Amino acid sequence: MKRIGVLFRPHVEKALTLAHSIRHFLESEGITVWLCSAWDEQAAEPHMPETDLVVGIGGDGTILHCARVTAPAAVPVLGVKLGKLGFITELGESEIDAALPQVIAGEGWIEERTMLCATLGGRQFLALNDAVVRCTAVRLINVALDVGGEPVTTYRADGVIVATATGSTGYSFAAGGPVLLPEAREIVVQPISSHIGLSQALLLPGDARVGLHVEGRDGAVLSLDGQTDCPLSSGQRVEVMTSEHRARFVRLRPRTYFYASLQEKLGGART
């Protein structure tokens, strides 16, 4: 590896300190290093074409930023979590010193994860976890679902989640959706507290085109990874499908790591 980027969670002193420590080590190995706030995706984007690896420092929210900016250039991400939680991150902060030499030596494996492409009004947005049409107030909205242009149902609900395998362990899971293995290509369509329409999740193939059409009153948004909100007006339609880009994560753990993570993160402490 010749050039590595470090994207860190801003306004967290521990993240910036660790970022400088990583840069110091990598530069001592003759590697060119650049640093940037993970929240500033536009500033990081121009660095991607010449970058071999991005180290993301923070929590899963930071890694979502990293994935959206690295995926179009197929740059792998090594996630370092601050604190105890982190479903997508690979390492704890105490493990990075031992792991970095392994990674730059080419050890480990690459896990590829499906991303979504949401189209709204001619604009396209990437998401690693999910694209959610939801109400901005505490009230129900009507959302008509079509798949490949064919009408399926109209939900009267708090909203509708379209999730990847990665997102299946997040908001979709909390709303009652199924868990998919990380590298699965399928799409989950999960209503949020549906009063009318299908109440259970739909599991669709990876080549499905999902349409969500907001009916009735205003006050809805398209939320991408819970980090970007785009206002929706009555009559607007959002189309969601899998992206041609995939998020790539460096893993040092065994390929079966996900099963232990399920128990630890979602099922309580292991006994």
pLDDT along the chain (271 residues), means of 10: 96 95 97 97 96 96 97 98 84 94 96 98 96 89 95 94 97 95 97 86 97 85 96 92 98 92 70 37
pLDDT computed for residue 218 by the predictor: 65
| Residue 260 half-sphere exposure toward CB, CA atoms < 13 A | 6
Point out the domain boundary residue: 53, 88, 107: 107
Q: What is the pLDDT of residues 206-248, one digit of tens each?
A: 999 999 999 876 689 999 999 999 999 888 999 999 999 999 9
In terms of domains, do 159 and 197 share one?
yes
Domain region containing 155:
116-244
pLDDT computed for residue 118 by the predictor: 98
SS3 of 109, please?
A: strand
pLDDT computed for residue 271 by the predictor: 37
pLDDT computed for residue 180 by the predictor: 96
pLDDT computed for residue 263 by the predictor: 80
Residue 78 placed within a domain: yes
* b (16+ CB within 10 A) / e for 217-251: eebbbbbbbeebebebeeebebbbbbbebbbbbbb
In terms of domains, do 122 and 239 share one?
yes
* Helix, strand, coil in percent for the chain, rounding step 5: 25, 40, 35
pLDDT computed for residue 165 by the predictor: 98
In terms of domains, do 11 and 96 share one?
yes
In terms of domains, do 100 and 138 share one?
no
In terms of domains, do 180 and 125 share one?
yes
Cβ contact 114:127 at 8 Å? no
Active site residues: 60
- How many folded domains does the chain comprise? 2
Q: What is the pLDDT of residues 168-208, one digit of tens each?
A: 999 999 999 999 999 999 999 999 988 877 889 999 999 99
Specify the CATH number for the domain of residue 45.
3.40.50.10330
Residue 80 placed within a domain: yes
Residue 253 placed within a domain: no
* Strand order across the 159-163 sheet: 202-204, 187-192, 159-163, 130-135, 220-224, 228-232
C-alpha pair distances (Å), 19 with each of 33, 99, 195, 265: 10, 15, 47, 26
Residue 87 placed within a domain: yes
